[in-house]
Structure 1
């Protein structure tokens, strides 16, 4: 049994309902995949190329208690040998020390187990309730749309017609000249500016970058939005800042932080071609924070 479509390669794709049932079973048992060495497919039927099937049937599952007790435990896939399955060797270490970035994302992973259980208890059928609220909102918007558009058009025309055309023209000319002067002179970086750019990242900068994000923006692959980090800032601030500073000191970002989901958002009600979709990249909040810190420095 596989959890995701990407875990099987064959002429027949995996059954969606089977994957949903399997994932629901793991969630109800509070089990999740233990971190393993990267092996895309751990089983094959070893038939000829046309009928060959590759699948990730072998996995290591662990509960919250095991992950909390052994945060550095991981599974190592070995060569299948004469078998059609790849054996897994689980390595356990009681040393809870690790890089700040690793520790931070391990704690996020542990929190996700508790949140999944909480969600099932208190927010079942949330999609149906959201759709009902959305339908009610759309009906209310339809009633007010015509009046709002007429009023906005009237206000715009009144302000535009009162403004002398010459003033608008010379305003455009002035903006063009200012842009030309800026480009011709160029930006000058002083020694103090250089020192400011390379100084150590402060917790205030990290907090300002995080809190400048929209709380309801799309979450990354870990499922945590900026709103979660803001609400839990008093708890996670120390670990989060250590993880961010680790990136700036080592110039390396872990796989958990750097993973991105590319989603296709339909532009119309019934999309029929690829151009009818708008792709967006759902990065982790950690990745966005690092980007904003860099942008604010520049």
Structure 2
């Protein structure tokens, strides 16, 4: 699936009309949004169906269904002059971008990885007065990144417009494998501590590090079940909790001093607050994880050619590293006399560098790391290790 957007003025010009047709046909685009003087949406009815279409002077909004992936998605194309970066003139004032940045953060939107020119608009004036700016961007939410993890944008040449058209590639070649990621919102659940204790307190034989990671695996399965029972479909749970709260408050208006309804309202409010807090925490943490787990869908190889798709990107990486590291080369033998020419560590510091690390030092290092930091390859964040340290601390130190 290919989605494109282009800000192009003066569509009454036959040359520009032909350029739009060429863009559609050459790249076999499924959806194309045209913005500026006239706002239009073009789509291929054999691959896409469009519904809930709204077009204003500043925005195009629609819901689409792709027959190939059998997935629905919503898109918004809008004109915006904020959050930009300029060359030649003064850069934008931070105050100008704060509201837009806050909006992106609250909506958990982030730039889609893209190739091509980073500055997407120009005044097309002489060299002394020309301005280049980053005005066009592709923003996606967490659900899009999870559904289409290999999607990426490509800013093409501007041609007859002063804006670069952007083409978004959505590939079906990658199957999403859901990996375990510890969510700090689990810590607040009443059953969290007992779940971790029951999973951890099992007998394992082997080296300390082997036993430690086997126990982590037990905890991983137990927490996955905890999440499934209490946090799965969190948006729907929040909606149900809010409706239950509003229903209770509606009944309370008919009996303002009912002891039972007042108590029920407190319980409903507490449940809604707990689920809403968990939802926001999960969205924030998953958004942070997503930013550190971007999939590379396009890359320029060592010959300067753009490689698209996971297979081609993987091959480009392998070829480059094989040329760099995979061939036997003659190397100059190290002259050990050079080592004696530099500064050396005084013998008085040798014991402190070779002595065994204490549990106190390990704990201090663990607790100095942000609990919201991205999880490691095992899926556990330092929020987990901190919360369960009284239970797992000795095993952690033994493994180290």
TM range (shorter): 0.3 to 0.5
More strand by share: 2
Structure having the higher Rg: 2
TM-score by length of 1: 0.36
More helix by share: 1
TM-score by length of 2: 0.28
